[in-house]
Amino acid sequence: MKNIIISYAWQGIALVEFLVICFLLFKNRRKQKDVLKDALNKNKKNKIDMDSLMVDMHHSQELYKKLSRKFHPDRFIGTSLMDEAEQIFKKIQENRTNYASLLEIQIEAEQTLKN
């Protein structure tokens, strides 16, 4: 009889622990959903221009490769334009995913490094 009471007590404790774990998992999942909703609402408020984002994603890689080859500082070794080429190359690397900035850098580089 004593063993049966102890068995039921352990089962009761296990059931309470299970319910606490389920409650905590449910609460954590709800919190994650709230975080995701907040992030989504924040992005909606920023009104991201998807057209410019798609242009940046698809065209910036090609333009970056073209500019990094054309204005690499190694092409200007032994000339007075080497320092300017290094600065322009750093700008190209910093803006490798921004198509509009790469276009501006290209115009600036062509004016500065006429070759």
CA dihedral 92, 51, 33, 39 (to 10 degrees): 50
26-54 residue pLDDT tens: 887 776 767 767 776 776 666 666 666 67
Phi-psi region of 92 (alpha: psi -120 to 50; beta: other; left: phi over 0): alpha
Q: What is the spatial distance between Cα 103 and Cα 51, in angstroms, rounded to a whole number?
A: 17
The per-residue pLDDT for 60 is 84
The per-residue pLDDT for 115 is 54
Closest CA to 86 of 104, 103, 109: 109
Count how many residues are written for the chain.
Answer: 115
Closest CA to 102 of 112, 94, 92: 92
The per-residue pLDDT for 17 is 93
Domain extents in the chain: 1-47, 50-112
What 3-state class would DSSP assign to 52? helix
| Greatest CA separation for the chain | 99
